[in-house]
Structure 1
Amino acid sequence: MIRMLLRVLGHEYAKPMRLTVALMTVTAVFEGLLYALLVPVLRALFGEDPSDAWPWLIAFAAGVVVYAVLRYSSDLSGMRVGTTMLRGMYHRLGEHLARLPIGWYNSGRVGEVSVMASRGLLAAMGVSAHLLAPFIAACVTPLTIIAVMTVSNWQLGLAALVAAPIVVIIKIWTARSMAVNDADNARRSNESSARVIEFLQAQPVLRAGGRSRERFSLLDDALQDVERSSRRQTLSVLPGAVGMTLIVQAIFTAVLVLGTYLALGGDIGVAEFLTILVLAARSAEPLLSLSDISGKLRSARAELERLDKVLRTEPLPEAAEPILPKRFDLEFDSVGFRHGDHVVFDGLSLSVPQGQRLAVVGPSGAGKTTLLQLVARFYDVGAGAVRVGGVDVRDVDPEVLMAQSAIVFQDVYLFDGTIEENVRLGRPDADEAEVRAAATAARLDEVVERLPGGWDANVGEGGALLSGGERQRVSIARALLKNASIVLLDEVTSALDPVNETAVHEGIERLMAGRTVVMVAHRMRTVQRADRVVFVSDGRIVEEGTHDELLRRGGRYAEFWNMSMAPVASE
């Protein structure tokens, strides 16, 4: 458990955690040794001169003060490590998630990451801040007390020591019986979290279908699965908890019976017998609490295992000696790429000279957006290479590659903040004049003028308070402010009204000027702005040429063009 916790924490927090564990262990041992002073105290009290107990009572009081200081220090250290670690772990998890390939983020990850970022990290903090100290005390203090009992009377110490292997066996058996239920409960919890998010996101569809007041069956089923799994998990704990209680009470009773027998036989005195009673009772208390603490630790361990699994997921590798591209032409050299078992590209080759515009056309699922993602290195190719300025993108520092690329996707996500804050994401160090110039070029200034609050207007989570066209203008202004040499466009006007489409096109034209551009086109009229067009189908380039050349050939591209222009002609 502690080894996993140290691994999850990383080098930065491992050393403070080790020191905290050492301090907690010393505190637990000292607590056990403190009870050894009861032996001379009771002997003096039941001896010829009870006043002889005063020095031992003073020593015991001093020991209690030392123990209080140690306990306070260890608890405070655990709390500090826990809270500091929580802040650091959020950063570590966020940085790691940002380095994972986009393919890792499938639909099932939504609930998993949501649970991990809340319950998982809080569990990691709870171990060090709340659970570790009582767990160490429950394990170490009884063993120390048994050692003290053995020194006082080897027979009683041996009788108490019999409990140790039995307790360990019960703990191992309980942990194994709970392992399956823990995994199932975690899977059900992640599923229910994903369904809650889905339920919230699906509100427009549910309300449009007149089902806003109905129960959402998928969510209900997921919550019922969680309830059943939690019930099974609770029932699996009972045998171990009951067994632990019975064993501890049985050993405690055996020690008392043996102590009584020895006292009646004259082998030990009254003082020693009373000491044994106190020590046996004190060692039984933490052992009885061990079941509850162990259950909480098992739940925390399960969360830590899932967190550890994500942190050990290999991110996209980074070059030991990154190369800085001097040019900004693009090249796909015999690229092979798969999504699971699906082959997206097989031996695809393509080049885009610096400063030119390439339009990518093709049916849905042909891999058009994937081409853009390979340039931005959201994925790594399975074969061949993607190059920027003759340099394999895998040999370029990821931050440099991102700094050289401006990406505008069809689905724009804005962070819950002001318009200006979202625009500044393109280049946080830009001055006010540069931000305003980018906004004007994207015709975002028109939006700002009519919104209450202007530049300080809040866009809502995901940009929910803005229309699709307004979000696109923010995205284009952000890309313009970035002033990157490579522009990647995933058709940004396919769902816009004519007014917003015109405004966005003007912003896009300014964004593309003088830059290397790869644009995915769903609306065929945008293709006419490209220097070259490629038609992609079944993972390969079917046709390639200028817009006019491809129309004259009368192939797949011409067919797509005629189909897209037919509604316009009929109007």
Structure 2
Amino acid sequence: MIGMLLRVLGDEYGRPVRRTVALMSAAAAAEGLACALLVPVLRALLGSTPGDAWPWLAAFGAAVAVCAVLRYRGDLTGFRAGTALLRGMYHRLGDHLARLPIGWYSADRVGRLSVLAGRGVLETMGVIAHLLPPFLSACVTPLTIVAVMTAFDWRLGLAALAGAPVVVAVQVWAGRSTAAADAERAERDHEATGRVIEYLRAQPVLRAGGRTAERFRLLDDSLREVERASRRAVRSALPGAVGLAVAVQAVFTALLVLGAHLALGGDVGAAEVVALLVLAARCADPLLSLVDLGGRLRGARAELARLDAVLRTEPLPEPRRPVRPTRHDLEFASVGFRHGERVVFDGVSLTVPEGQRVAVVGPSGAGKSTLLQLLARFYDVDAGAVRVGGVDVRSIGSDELMSRIAIVFQDVYLFDGTVEENVRLGRPEASAAEVRAAAAAAGLDEVVARLPGGWATEVGEGGARLSGGERQRVSIARALLKDAPIVLLDEVTSALDPENEAAVQEGVERLMAGRTVVMVAHRMRTVQRADRVVFLDGGRVVEEGTPADLLRRGGRYAEFQAISQESGLTP
């Protein structure tokens, strides 16, 4: 497990762990050596001259003091390392997640990742501070005592050493017998967490449909499965706990019998046998603690394995020699792309000259949003190439590429902070005057004027304290502040009321001015502002041309617009 922990932490954070392990191991060995001094102490006390025990008692006291200092230093180092590594692990996990392709973030993975990033990281990093000291003590101290016993009497030492494989075998067997039950319990925990989140998020729908009783039943069923899985996990761990206790007691009994035999035969003095049996008894406590430690370590190891799997997921590769494009025209060259088993694009080719506006239209599922995501390199294409300024996006550094692109989505996510902090995400180093100018261009200034805290108003998680139109204005102001030469718009006004749509559209017009724009849109008012329209369907470009030309042709685009007008979706 320590090897996996070091791999997960990486070289930068692995060094403090190695230092902590070495210090804790030294403390455990010192504890075993201190216990070994009980042999001469007891031999002197039980002998004919008890006064000879004083020097040994002084040595025992000094050894205990050294052990206490090492233990204190080891525990302190463990807590400090655990705290530092917890912070470092969050940074490492966050940096890695930021480089993974967007397609990796399925709904199931996001739920599991939220649990892993919270409880999972805390549990795995807590191993260093809370589980590593007793585990090393349970392993190193008994081995040190067995080595001392061997030095005093090789027969008792070898007998004690022979019990080590038995204890290890029982631990391995216990781990294997509980692995399936532990995995099932973890799976049920994840499912129950998902049910709780689903139940809370679905409250408006459930109450409107009068289905709260059914949802309670589903949640209760999930929680009952957690209870059953926990019981099975406890029952599967019980044989291992009993087996370890029996094994330890059997080894101690064997040592007791052997010691009595040697003492009765005159081969070893009674005082030495008593002292050595005291050492053997001292080994029993840490060995028996392996029952509890083993279960907790297996749980932490399971979380560590899941964390390791995430960190070993390959991110999108960065170019070895990044190229900086000098233009901002866009090109799809025979692009093929699959999402899972579904073919999204099959040989799509199109160009967007620098400074032009292209509207992407098509039925749901045609891949319109995916086209924008490929331009921003949220995914890599399976065939062909996506180019910016004639350069394949895979040859452009991620930071360089994103510095040239501003994206405004239909569903805007705002971070839990102030309005100004969310706008500044576009360009954190911008001056206050630049932030205010971007806000005015996006129509956000009038929103800020009526907010009780002005620019310092907290927007809440996801922007929950703002309306949809207000969140969209923040997003446009953020994009304007970024001042990127390429703008990608994904149906930014489709879910807004007429008043907000008009205000947002003014901000969008300012955002698009003089820039290369690709926008996904359905509304005629938005499409008519485009220089060219691309109609996607079936993974291919079906039609392409100016809005007026496509309407005159009476093809798929004209048919699509007619249906939208009849349904009232296109004003």
| Equivalent residue runs for 1:552-571 within 5 Å | 552-566=552-566
- Correspondence 1:51 to 2:47: no
- How far, CA to CA, are the matches of 2:29 and 2:108 in structure 1? 46
Aligned residues of 1:111 and 1:192 also touching (Cα < 8 A) = no
Asked whether the 8 Å contact 1:473–1:504 carries over to 2, the reply is yes
2:203 matched residue in structure 1? 203
Q: Deviations over 1:321-342 (max 9, x none)?
A: 1111111110001100001110
* 1:523-551 CA-partner distances (Å, limit 9, x unpaired): 23210000000100000000000000000
Listed as ranges, the matches of 1:216-295 within 5 Å are: 216-295=216-295
Q: Which residue of structure 2 aligns with residue 373 of structure 1? A: 373
- The amino acid across from 2:38 in the alignment is L
CA-to-partner distance for each residue in 1:364-415, whole Å, 9 max, x for gaps? Answer: 0000000000001110001111010011111111111111111011101111
- Residue 195 of structure 1 deviates from its aligned partner by 2.4
Report the CA distance between 1:212 and its aligned residue.
Answer: 5.1
The equivalent of 2:335 in structure 1 is 335
1:537-552, aligned counterparts within 5 Å?
A: 537-552=537-552
CA-to-aligned-CA distance 1:90-113 (integer Å, 9 cap, x gap): 011111111111111111012211
Contact 1:31-1:67 at 8 Å conserved across structures = yes
**Residue type of the partner of 2:253?**
T
Flag structure 1 segments of 5+ consecutive residues without an equivalent.
none
One-letter amino acid matched to 1:442: A
Residue pair 2:199, 2:215 contacting (<8 A) in 1 also = no
Cα distance in 2, alignment partners of residues 381 and 201 from structure 1: 34
Q: What CA distance in whole angstroms lies between the structure 2 residues aligned with 1:160 and 1:18?
A: 29
Q: Tell me, yes or no, if the aligned pair for 1:101 and 1:316 is still in contact at 8 Å.
A: yes
Superposed displacement of residue 211, structure 1: 4.2
Query: Following the alignment from structure 2 to structure 1, what is the Cα–Cα distance between the partners of residues 64 and 200?
Result: 55
CA distance in 1, matches of 2:326, 2:192: 49
3-state secondary structure, aligned to 2:107: coil
Query: Residue in 2 aligned with 1:145?
Result: 145
Residue 162 of structure 1 aligns to a residue in which SS?
helix
Q: Secondary structure at the match of 1:429?
A: coil
What residue in structure 2 maps to residue 33 of structure 1?
A: 33
How far apart are residue 42 of structure 1 and its match? 1.9
Task: Using the TM superposition, give the Cα deviation of residue 214 of structure 1 relative to its aligned residue in structure 2, in angstroms.
Answer: 6.2
Q: TM-score, normalised by structure 2?
A: 0.97
The one-letter code matched in structure 2 to 1:538 is G
Which deviates more from structure 2 when the two are superposed, residues 173-182 or residues 287-296? 173-182
Q: Which amino acid aligns with 2:371?
A: L
Counterpart mapping for 1:333-412 below 5 A = 333-412=333-412
Asked whether the equivalents of residues 524 and 570 of structure 2 are also in contact (C-alpha less than 8 Å), the reply is: no
State the distance in 1 between where 2:543 and 2:374 align. 21
| Distance 1:567-1:67 versus aligned 2 partners, 3 A rule | closer
Per the alignment, residue 449 of structure 1 pairs with 449
Which residue in 1 is equivalent to 2:116? 116
Q: Is this contact kept in 2: 1:487–1:512, CA < 8 A?
A: yes
**Residue identity opposite 1:470 in structure 2:** E
Quote the residue 2:69 is aligned against: 69
Counterpart residue identity of residue 559, structure 2: E
Q: Percent identity?
A: 71
For the 8 Å contact 1:486–1:517, the answer to whether it is kept is yes
Q: Alpha-carbon deviations, 1:501-529, whole Å to 9, x = none?
A: 00010000000000000000122321000
Q: In 2, distance between residues paired with 1:223 and 1:570?
A: 47
Partner of 2:99: 99
Q: Distance in 1 between matches of 2:380 and 2:189?
A: 32
Aligned partners of 1:423 and 1:478 also within 8 Å: yes
Q: Tell me which residue corresponds to 2:184.
A: 184
Helix, strand or coil at the partner of 1:229: helix
Q: Does residue 1:479 correspond to 2:508, yes or no?
A: no
- Contact kept, 8 Å, 2:374 with 2:386, in 1: the verdict is yes
Determine if contact 2:188/2:225 at 8 Å carries over to the other structure: yes
Moved more, 481-490 or 178-187: 178-187
- Distance change (3 Å), C-alpha of 1:244 and 1:569: closer
CA–CA separation in structure 1 for the residues paired with 2:302 and 2:262 = 47
What SS class does the counterpart of residue 37 from structure 2 fall into? helix
Offset of 1:56 from its aligned partner? 1.1
In the alignment, residue 550 of structure 1 is paired with which amino acid?
L
Q: Following TM superposition, by how much is the alpha carbon of 1:223 offset from its aligned partner in structure 2, in angstroms?
A: 2.4
- Asked whether the equivalents of residues 43 and 275 of structure 2 are also in contact (C-alpha less than 8 Å), the reply is no
AA aligned opposite 1:245 = A
Partner Cα distance (2:164, 2:358) in 1: 73
CA contact (8 A) 2:336 2:381 kept: yes
Q: Distance in 2 between matches of 1:412 and 1:538?
A: 28
Residue by residue over 1:32-62, the C-alpha shift from the partner in whole angstroms, topping out at 9 and shown as x without a partner, is: 1222212222222233322221111111111
1:462 aligns to 2:484 (yes or no): no
**Residues 313-324 of structure 1: pairs in structure 2 closer than 5 A:** 313-324=313-324
* SS of match in other structure, 2:336: strand
Determine the C-alpha separation between the residues in 2 that align with 1:252 and 1:569: 83
Measured after TM superposition, the shift of residue 127 of structure 1 is 1.0
* SS of structure 2 residue aligned to 1:417: coil
Deviation at 1:199, TM superposition (A): 2.1
Partner of 1:520: 520
What is the aligned partner in structure 1 of residue 126 from structure 2?
A: 126
Where does residue 194 of structure 1 map in the other structure? 194
AA in 2 matched with 1:14: G
Gaps of 5+ in 2: none
Moved more, 190-199 or 212-221: 212-221
Change (3 A) 1:199 1:292: same
Separation of aligned partners in 2, 1:556 and 1:304: 53
Retained in 2: the 8 A contact 1:108–1:191?
A: no
> For 1:262 and 1:427, how far apart are their aligned partners in 2?
82
Answer yes or no: is the 8 Å Cα contact 2:522–2:570 preserved in 1: no
